[in-house]
Amino acid sequence: MSEQYKAFSEHLHKIGVVGSIGGLLGWDNEVYKPEKAMGIRSEQNAFISGLIHEEFTSADFVKLVQALLEDKSLSKEQSINVTKVNEDLIKQTKFNKEFIQKQSVIISEAFGKWHAAKTQNNFSLFEESLEKVVALCKESAEILGYEEHPYDALLDMYEPGMTTKKLKVIFANVKEQLVPYYNSLLAKKQVEASFLHNKFEKQKQWDISIEILKQMGYDFGAGRQDYAPHPFSIGMHPTDVRITTRVDEHNLSELIWSAIHEGGHALYEQGLDAEYFGQPQGVAASLGIHESQSRLWENNVGRSLSYWKANYHLMQNAFPETFGKVELMDFYKAINKVEPGFIRTNADEISYHLHVLIRFEIEVALMEDKIKVKDLPEFWNAKYKEYLAVDVPSNTLGVLQDVHWSHGSLGYFPTYSIGSFYAAQLFSHAEKQIPQLKEKIEKGELSELLSWLRTNIHVKGKLYTSEEICEQVTGEKLNFDYFMNYVKAKYDGIYK
Concatenating the DSSP letter of every residue in 91-120 gives HHTTS-HHHHHHHHHHHHHHHHHHHHHHHH
Helix axes 164-173, 352-367, angle to 10 degrees: 150
58: left (phi over 0), alpha (psi -120 to 50) or beta: beta
Q: Measured between alpha carbons, how far is 399 from 10 in angstroms, rounded to an integer? A: 43
Q: Which residues of 195-234 are buried (b: 16+ CB within 10 A; e: fewer)?
A: ebeeebeeeebbebbeebbebbbbeeebbebeebebbbbb
- Which one of 109, 159, 254, 262 is the catalytic residue? 262
The pairing of beta strand 223-227 with beta strand 240-245: parallel
Torsion angle of alpha carbons 142, 65, 163, 349, nearest 10°? Answer: -120
Nearest-Å Rg of the Cα atoms of the chain is 22
Residue 185 CA to its chain's centroid (Å): 27
Cα three-residue angle 277-279-280, rounded to 5 degrees: 120
Nearest CA-CA partner of 352 in 337, 371, 373, 369 = 337
Nearest CA-CA partner of 250 in 348, 345, 319 = 319
Nearest CA-CA partner of 250 in 199, 204, 201 = 199
Query: Can you tell me whether residue 329 is helix, strand or coil?
Result: helix
Q: Is 262 a catalytic residue?
A: yes
Nearest CA-CA partner of 484 in 189, 201, 178 = 178
CA distances from 462 to 40, 82, 159, 272, 459 (A): 34, 12, 11, 10, 9
Residue type, 461: G
Q: Measured between alpha carbons, how far is 63 from 43 in angstroms, rounded to an integer? A: 30
Q: Measured between alpha carbons, how far is 405 from 393 in angstroms, rounded to an integer? A: 21
Point out the residues that are catalytic.
262
